[in-house]
Structure 1
Amino acid sequence: MQAMKNNCKCQMIGTVQSGLADQGFTYVVFLALFPLFWSPVQSKNCCSNNKLMRSIKYQFNLMNPDECGGETSDRVKTAFSANLHKHLSKVTQHTKIIFGTVITNIGVNYDKTTGVFTSPRHGTFYFSWTMFTNPGGSCPTELVKNGNSVGLANHTWNEGSKWNHSSTQSGVLSLKKHDKIWIRMIVTGEGYCYSGIWTSFNGFEI
């Protein structure tokens, strides 16, 4: 009888182990607490005990933030920084500005092929962008959320000057999961928007 109980106990541990082995600390806690669950039910049959262990496994799964949508204190927050990869000339109204040279992309939520940042979760985010124009040029841009202006504009206008000119705008937005953010032209620009280190788009989760 004792051998059968031990065998049943091993089977139960194996069942839960397969579901918790990839949860690290959670599995260690389970092993430490297992005797507390086992002692009151030693007299029950294996079928009943297996049902109990499946219930315990379910409760431990609730501790896994990836499975229940929760958050942990050590969650990696998203951040990105990208530069304009080529000069822009007389860009037309509402054209999306694609910052194709990525410097930082923690979380890989910025797409350098489309110029779009996609929010990975509900949260608060900071964004900024800088445009740099040639003498006499203009590059009026705005921050866009899901196709609509959020009311933040950056008009780099250099009329009548013999020097290049840059300007920066920034803002803080509350986003939902899958919200999309990008920069676009307000109206058709004049002259050039220079690429490289002079023109950039940045954002991070607060």
Structure 2
Amino acid sequence: MVSSTIVLLLLCAKVGKALATCNPGKTTCVTEDLLHMITRAVPTINDSNSKTDLERRPTFFASLKASQQTLYDIKDIVKFDDAKINIGGGYDSTTGIFTAPRNGIYIFSCTIVAVGGGDVQFQLNKNDQFYTGGYATKTNYGGQTVYSIVEVMTGDKVYIKHRTGSLQKVSGNHHSTFSGYLLSK
């Protein structure tokens, strides 16, 4: 864990140096502006509070362990049933819902893989409202990953749900995943 944190910090330091040549705010530098925001949010090794803040920062990663989940209805939530990381206890693998333990800007990532030959239409919801959508294609085990940056308040609920009323199957065996972490306050 410590070595991966050091590698991330060194990478961020290199990115920060590369950003010095970009003019912030220019349309061509949107990606660089986003990277600059992320590097400012990552605490440095010299920050005496960085370790405790990182240990408390809500973070989760869950995958669909079952071989597949069949979605029948537009109300169906994908239940990523194997929470490998759940710092802060915000993710509930029985419901598939992340409940924010702290206010802040979070990054969520979802990868959905469709069972061979099928497709899956899905969406990320915040408090029962559509936030962003995705579509795993009809190719043989086609998949899609969607990243979302979301401002949430304590108690807000974020989850992945079915986007259509037709029967669709999500591939499991740890191919489909849902994760999130607090980026900044």
Q: Deviations over 1:102-146 (max 9, x none)?
A: 111111111111111111121010001011113320111100111
Cα deviation, 1:19-76, whole Å, max 9, x if unaligned, reads xxxxxxxxxxxxxxxxxxxxxxxxxxxxxxxxxxxxxxxxxxxxxxxxxxxxx76331
Instruction: Give the one of 71, 76, 79 matched to 2:59.
Output: 79
**Counterparts of 2:87 and 2:112 in 1: how far apart (Å)?**
23
The equivalent of 1:98 in structure 2 is: 79
Structure 1 unaligned regions, length at least 5 = 1-71
* 2:163 corresponding residue in structure 1: 186
State the distance in 1 between where 2:103 and 2:61 align: 20
2:142 to 137, 142, 165: 165
- Percent sequence identity is 24
Cross-structure match for 1:145: 126
2: CA distance, partners of 1:184 / 1:197: 18
Instruction: Note the alpha carbon deviations across 1:1-30, whole angstroms, 9 max, x for none.
Output: xxxxxxxxxxxxxxxxxxxxxxxxxxxxxx
Work out the number of aligned pairs and report it: 131
Runs of 4+ in structure 1 over 4 Å off: none
Of residues 106, 111, 117, the one that matches 1:125 is 106
What is the one-letter code of the residue matched to 2:157?
K
Greater Rg by CA: 1
CA shift, 1:93, in A, is 1.2
Is residue 137–residue 190 contact of structure 1 (8 Å, CA) maintained in 2? no
- Supply the distance in 2 between the matched residues of 1:177 and 1:90 (Cα, whole angstroms): 29
Is the Cα–Cα contact under 8 Å of residues 84 and 100 in structure 1 kept in the other structure? yes
* Structure 1 length-normalised TM: 0.60
Q: Is the 8 A contact 1:85 1:99 kept in 2?
A: yes
Provide the alpha-carbon RMSD of the alignment.
1.6
Q: Which residue of 2 aligns with 1:112?
A: 93
Q: Is the 8 A contact 2:119 2:142 kept in 1?
A: no
| Secondary structure at 2:143 match in 1 | strand
| Distance change >3 Å, CA 90–CA 123, structure 1 → 2 | closer
Q: Is the 8 A contact 1:138 1:189 kept in 2?
A: no
Q: CA 1:191–1:121 in structure 2 vs 1: closer, same or farther (change >3 Å)? A: closer
Shift of 1:94: 2.2
Alignment of 1:33-112 (within 5 A): 74-75=52-53, 76-86=56-66, 87-112=68-93
Aligned AA (1:192) = K
